[in-house]
Amino acid sequence: MTETSPTPQDARALLDEAKGRAATVRQSERQLRWTLLLIAAMYVVTGILLSFNPRQGSRPIGTALLITFLVALVLAIYLGWRVKAWSRAAVLWFVGAMAAFLVWNGIVIWLSIATGWWGPHAPGIHFGGTVAVAVIPLLVATWLFGRR
């Protein structure tokens, strides 16, 4: 069995096609940053809503939280359909960003409780402050995804 090498013109055409497909994958992967931004926005909106009424539990706040989660779910599904192709590296970046957020969020919440920042008599704005610190990894990951 003999194999022939492609001609230089064929090789160039194949390389151009591969570059075009790689560019398409990179463009599609950039949609993942909008998913990270959506998660950050949902987290911030939740923090704002709960800061206004941390302990009483009012019906309008509960309704607003439900609407926030439903809108975020619909938008996440829409964004998921827009990502047509992705690389292993992009999936690892995305999962790594979410893991970093979860770990960081756990540490921030633990420190908020341990230091008394969150407490029975703490004002609601303390919850919002914790959310502002906890969302940092998602914003950094969104920025890094945009630079890829």
Which sequence spans correspond to the domains of the chain?
8-147
Bigger pLDDT: 24 vs 104: 104
Whether pLDDT at 72 is above 90: yes
pLDDT recorded at residue 2: 61
What mean pLDDT do residues 8-16 have? 73
Bigger pLDDT: 28 vs 132: 132
What mean pLDDT do residues 103-122 have? 89
Give residue-wise pLDDT tens across range 83-112: 777 778 888 888 999 999 999 999 999 999
pLDDT band at 22 (very low <50, low <70, confident <90, very high): low
**Average pLDDT taken over every residue of the chain:** 84
pLDDT recorded at residue 123: 82
The 3-state secondary structure of the chain, one letter per residue = CCCCCCCHHHHHHHHHHHHHHHHHHHHHHCHHHHHHHHHHHHHHHHHHHHHHCCCCCCHHHHHHHHHHHHHHHHHHHHHHHHCCCCCHHHHHHHHHHHHHHHHHHHHHHHHHHHCCCCCCCCCCHHHHHHHHHHCHHHHHHHHHHHHC
pLDDT recorded at residue 29: 73
Give residue-wise pLDDT tens across range 31-52: 788 889 999 999 999 988 888 8
